[in-house]
Amino acid sequence: MQKESKLLCVLRSGYSRDYLDRFIQSQDSSVVNKFQQKYWKTKQTLIKVTGKKEDEHVVASDADLDGKLEVFHSIQRTCMELLKVIEQYQRRICLLSQEENELGRFLRSQGSQDKTRAGKIMQATGKALCFSSQQRLALRNPLCRLYQEVETFRYRAISDTWLTVNRMEQSRTEYRGALLWMKDVSQELDPDTHKQMEKFRKVQAQVRTTKTSFDKLKNDVCQKVDLLGASRCNLLSHVLTTYQTTLLHFWEKTSHTMAAIHESFKGCQHYEFSTIKTLKDPVDKLAKKKGKKKMKSEREDGKKAETTDDQ
């Protein structure tokens, strides 16, 4: 519809027949030009997908950009791994605290039944273990905050950079497709032919346009990746400080409690444990007898087989 409206304007304005022919030719060439752009862009996409070798000079010119993309993918991957590790760490802290609390309760219940000094020691140890299990759960608060901060960082900062990277990759495909187009046109270029020179200039203008767009997005990606790395370092250094402080407080409290119990253990009689070997020897003798019987039966079977073969 837009093309027809332009044509009617030209007809009503009273221009010459030659001008009208040039106008129709320019409109047709623009449509062909768009199809050719899509063709070379699709060809470049196929080259990238199939992994065919590209021009080494073109690839080398994007070495800095490819390095930044490797850094970005590393940040993206390690953030996902960090979230999984934090989840697993929280589960194991809960399980360890639960087992520690169960052991403490068991020692307290058994110590309450024992009226000797050993019973008092078991009760003191049980209380210390229950106290340690409760203090260990305090580590979950900074870990939960770390998880939330990293998850927010992944959903916002990494997602925004990822969108910019996708736009840059599309622009790079268009730029490299335009380079392939210009290379194809230059191989058939005849400087004496006006149409070929005009076609070459159009392709050259297309290369300049795509390069300008690609350079802008390339610069945006490099800046965002640098900012992304710095932001993650600041995030981790800030959040992990709280976790480190909580962990130090946990070890200080539990170490003081355990040290106090150790002081109360002084002067206690140590128990010496030894294994009873009298129950083990009959079992070994029985196993040896079974082994000898088995070997004897195998020998007899072998002799019987030899006699039947001789007959």
Q: How many residues does the chain have?
A: 311
Instruction: Quote the tokens at residue 91.
Output: 């589960």
The full set of domains in the chain, from first to last, is 38-90+141-254 (1.20.1270.60)
CA distances from 211 to 33, 176, 182, 216 (A): 17, 9, 13, 9
Kindly compute the dihedral angle of the four CA atoms of residues 64, 229, 69, 77, in this order, to the nearest 10 degrees: 150
Place of tokens 């953030």: 79
Instruction: Quote the tokens at residue 185.
Output: 């046109």
Q: Cα(276)–Cα(41) distance, rounded to whole angstroms?
A: 82
Q: Cα(258)–Cα(132) distance, rounded to whole angstroms?
A: 9
DSSP notation for 149-212: HHHHHIIIIIHHHHHHHHHHHHHHHHHHHHHHHHHHHHHT--TT-HHHHHHHHHHHHHHHHHHH
Helix pair 63-113, 159-187: axis angle to 10 deg: 150
What local confidence, expressed as pLDDT, does residue 121 receive?
Answer: 83
Q: Cα(255)–Cα(211) distance, rounded to whole angstroms?
A: 64
The CA-to-CA distance between both ends of the chain, in Å, stands at 107
What local confidence, expressed as pLDDT, does residue 142 receive?
Answer: 93
- 69: nearest Cα among 162, 172, 186: 162
CA distances from 118 to 129, 255, 272 (A): 16, 22, 14
Q: Cα(287)–Cα(281) distance, rounded to whole angstroms?
A: 10
Instruction: Quote the tokens at residue 22.
Output: 């040039």
CB of 48 within 8 A of CB of 66? no
pTM of the complete model: 0.66
List, in order, residues 6 or more apart from 84 with CB less than 8 Å away.
none
Low-confidence ranges of the chain (pLDDT < 70): 1-33, 35-37, 39-41, 43-44, 46-47, 49, 51, 54-55, 58-59, 184-186, 189-196, 199-200, 267-288, 290-292, 294, 301-311
CA distances from 183 to 11, 116, 158, 188, 308 (A): 39, 95, 37, 9, 89
What local confidence, expressed as pLDDT, does residue 15 receive?
Answer: 45
